[in-house]
Amino acid sequence: MNTKLHAICHSKGQPLNLFVTAGQVSDYIGARALLSSIPNVDWLLGDRGYDADWFREALKDRGIRACIPGRKQRKKPVKYDKRRYKRRNRIEIMFGRLKDWRRVATRYDRCSKVFLSAIALAALVIYWL
């Protein structure tokens, strides 16, 4: 019953791709699943959970600069653009708007496929209609 939603959004905060994993699974699994669907962009803003050397290298190979703060356990701190990182609030606003739908916020659905379908339907109505 515990799930984690991973999303790719464009600069206006509209979701482009959604992926659901189990709640106890690391964010690296969601990053690996969504890596191939990242559009050609200059920057990628991500949460601390996506801080991994392999993920940064994969983005660099595609010509995308990562704006992801380092985890607190890192021995060598990672530099990132703090001004640009403040724009990540658009992603958090997108998640908040999805949770305005009671079905998404309370997770009525037991099956993860049905839950992802409810999220996709909510995103379609909120952002694209």
Q: Do 74 and 52 contact (CB within 8 A), yes or no?
A: no
pLDDT tens string 72-110: 888 888 998 999 999 989 999 999 999 999 988 888 888
Q: How far apart are CA 88 and CA 45, in angstroms?
A: 6
Percentage of the residues of the chain whose pLDDT score is greater than 70: 99
Q: What is the DSSP letter of 79?
A: P
Q: Can you list the domains of the chain with their CATH numbers?
A: 3-128 (3.30.420)
Predicted TM-score (pTM) of this structure: 0.83
